[in-house]
Amino acid sequence: MSQLLLEQCKEVLVVGCGLMGAGITQVVAQAGIKVVVVDRTEEDLIKGKKRIEKSLKKQGVTEVEEIKKRITFSTQLNDGKNANLVIEAIPEKLDLKKELFVKLDKLLKPEAIIASNTSSLSIAAMSSVTKRPERVIGLHFFSPVPIMNLLEIVVSINTSKHIVEWAKAFGEQLGKKTIIAKDYPGFTVNRVLVPMLNEAAFLVMEGNEPLEIDKGMMLGANHPIGPLKLSDMVGVDVVLHTLESLYQGYNDSKYRPCPLLKRMVEAGHLGKKTGRGFYEYK
């Protein structure tokens, strides 16, 4: 069944050409599959295209032109109507995702699979607005997508077992290692990871130096990168939003976001992408 589905997956639609969408587009194209990537404006697509070209060059990929030929950039969702799989990578707002899923459900052929790259939002809620809830699944890639090996497959109470098996085979085709996670806020990785990042922010708020905290976790817990440096890489705003999703999803005070994170976001100190977070970047 999985192999048959993989053979049928000749075209993938990626919605969103930001950091995650561009990375997903790249790895799918590198796996030999045609990709249509859609975003709102030509400017967004140009930025995404440059990200992909820069990433391929950084990785030392030789068949760059062949990979680029498999990618179609578009501002029209309709250009991806023949896709066997769609992966959405738009902002982490459930209302936006549900609105998109309604459009995708009407646009795509009935056998197409709809997947979300969400890091914390309900797959079941997204599937409920479609007429194919059993064919909706979470495919949570990690950043940077071309480098990180993990693909977290998120299974809602509606997702068919056949689609789960297909997703595992698809992940392997992309060269990823997969884990299966249940559809609860934060899934597996972020539910464990993000509270640690939050606690590190509390330590900074209490007067501890970021470098000392990161050094302690790297040497004492054998982590390859400290939690505050990681927060800066991910984006302080993304960390805060994920915490808010966990807090709202579980109604549990242990997920209460650190006030310092809120102040940093309000000040525009979002990490590496803005040049300043817990550290400063040139």
Q: Catalytic positions, please?
A: 119, 140, 152, 190
Q: What are phi and psi of 72, to 5 degrees?
A: -115, 125
**Cα 52 from Cα 184, distance rounded (Å):** 32
First-last CA distance in the chain: 50
Half-sphere exposure of 170 (CA within 13 A, CB side): 34
- Tokens describing residue 15: 């919605």
CB of 195 closer than 8 Å to CB of 110: no
Q: Please report, as a single letter, which amino acid is at residue 198.
A: N
Contacts of 134 (CB under 8 A, 6+ apart): 127, 158, 159, 160, 163
* One-character DSSP codes across 118-136: -SSS-HHHHHTTSS-GGGE
**Cα 242 from Cα 250, distance rounded (Å):** 12
Q: Dihedral sign, CA of 199, 187, 172, 234?
A: negative
User: Which single residue is written with the structure tokens 């890091």?
Assistant: 119
**Cα 150 from Cα 142, distance rounded (Å):** 7
**Cα 251 from Cα 254, distance rounded (Å):** 9
User: Given phi > 0 = left and psi -120 to 50 = alpha, else beta, which region is 183?
Assistant: beta
CB of 69 closer than 8 Å to CB of 96: no
